[in-house]
Amino acid sequence: MDPTVNPFPHDRDRSAIWTMLVQRDIDAFIAADWSMVDGDFIRDGFLGLHAHGSGNPDSWRVAFPTLEAYRDEWLRQARETASVRFAEPLRAAIFRATNLRDIDVAGDVAVAHKKFDGTIRRADGGIDVLNWQTLYFCARREGRWRLTGFVGYMPYPMAGHRRPGSDA
């Protein structure tokens, strides 16, 4: 299946959440243009936790107590990525490494399980490794899905769990 194609064409809620968290996020990140995603957030009460690659929730920290704090880090990462020369098309590589197929919708709230698992070849011969997962918390407001917060940079897979399709 083409990773750039929304896997939820017949599910309005999941389709909208996938478009927000995959397609629009990737396109905005590559362009380093926060304005493309700014409307996807609920500012009041926004909260982002950083797991620092740990599967132990006791070590997760409030790294983004405001949307502005998250925006600043997101833009820093986007600009850093933009400064790298890649040996393959960046958009296709990020889509290939991104998986969002588990979205739990309950009325006007949802949790989206986004996983990053892949590599991007750099022009200097190195590789960038994308290997973490994020839980995004969403709410439907005025008929539109938006983000209220997340727990990000958790290990993927979590300890004791295997990647889907692995024999290990």
pLDDT per residue rounded down to tens, the chain (168 residues): 899 999 999 999 999 999 999 999 999 999 999 999 999 999 999 999 999 999 999 999 999 999 999 999 999 999 999 999 999 999 999 999 999 999 999 999 999 999 999 999 999 999 999 999 999 999 999 999 999 999 999 999 987 666 666 554
Query: Over the stretch 41-88, which tens digit does the pLDDT of each residue have?
Result: 999 999 999 999 999 999 999 999 999 999 999 999 999 999 999 999
pTM passes above 0.95: no
Long-range contacts for 119-124 (Cβ within 8 Å, ≥24 apart)?
119/93, 120/86, 120/88, 120/90, 120/93, 120/94, 121/86, 121/87, 121/88, 121/93, 122/84, 122/85, 122/86, 122/87, 123/85, 123/86, 123/87, 124/85
Strands 61-64 and 47-50: antiparallel
Q: By the 8 A CB rule, do 154 and 48 touch?
A: no
Alpha helices for the chain (secondary structure H): 12-18, 25-31, 67-82, 90-97
| Cα separation, 92 vs 30, whole angstroms | 11
Share of the chain above pLDDT 70, in %: 95
**Phi-psi category of residue 131: left, alpha or beta, with phi > 0 → left and psi -120 to 50 → alpha:** beta
